[in-house]
Amino acid sequence: MIRRILLLIMIGANITACSLVRPSTPPMAIPTSSPRAAPSLPTAIPTVLPTLSPTPAPRTRTTPAIVLEAIPAPPTSTPIKLDKALPAEKVAIFQPGPGSFVTSPFKVIGRSGPSWKERAELRLIGEDGRLIAKTYAYIMANPGTAGPYSWHISFQIPLMSEAGRLEVRIHSPRDGQLIHMASVNLTLLSVGTPLVHVALDNAERLAIFSPRPDAIMEGGVAHIDGAGWTESDQPLMVEVLDRKGDTVGSGEVWLDAPAVGQLGTFDIDLPYHVEAAQYGRIIIYERSEGIPGMVHYAGVDVRLRP
């Protein structure tokens, strides 16, 4: 009996010792299942395509060089103010206007006068200065007054086209000498379709303010002043003519204007010489840079004294 008790005690002690030596295993955590969030869709990003530039041509020795420079601002001009108004153009050409293309025949319409025998002389000048055609148009007005004129001009040229100038002249009723002339540049066509422009009435292109008509010039010096505009950058020619139309005094004067084609003034003291008192004329004209001859001509009758 005692042996059984001792045996049970020893077995229990061994079981206790084993339980002390054996490491305890921690309890395993069982994960709890939670609902998963739905994956978010990616945001669409717009695609920007690059701008394609054309492929430049290959450069060679013959490729021209291009130099880019800043363009300066054009200078501003101050217009000239006159203390008196310009008179109306003494010889006006309404048709054909500047830059017209004309074929033969073409009609000329304008206003002019007074003139010698109430006639206006129409002249057509070629690009080399030759006289292509010449005719006369009667001024429809009473003697000594201005009025309209109208006439046709026929011409022949050797080429298909040629630069030309139409001149309209009037002459002094006193002696029949040239007193005024206006002109317009044209393109003459032997074949083709004409293109005729119309011009408006304008102020006098070269107006002589002093001397006045029939003024007395004496002392051998003529004071001449006036206003107008030019189509080229060159001086105006000024002359004193005697009763025969011969030059007894001449000079050049620059138009004081902000730029070519703008209104300006001129002023000159021109020496002259005559042996006796007589009728005379003061003239001023602009020379042409292209077609030989004059572009505009203006004059005033005066009385000359030594």
Residue 67 is predicted with a pLDDT of 46
Domain annotation for the chain: domains and CATH numbers: 83-203 (2.60.40.2550), 205-306 (2.60.40.2550)
Of all residues in the chain, what percent carry a pLDDT higher than 70? 74
Q: Which tens digits make up the pLDDT trace of 219-262?
A: 999 999 999 999 999 999 999 999 999 999 999 999 999 999 99
pLDDT at residue 154 is higher than 50: yes
**More confident position, 266 or 62:** 266
- What distance in Å separates the CA atoms of residue 226 and residue 240, rounded to the nearest whole number? 15
Q: 10-19, 47-56, 254-263: lowest mean pLDDT where?
A: 10-19
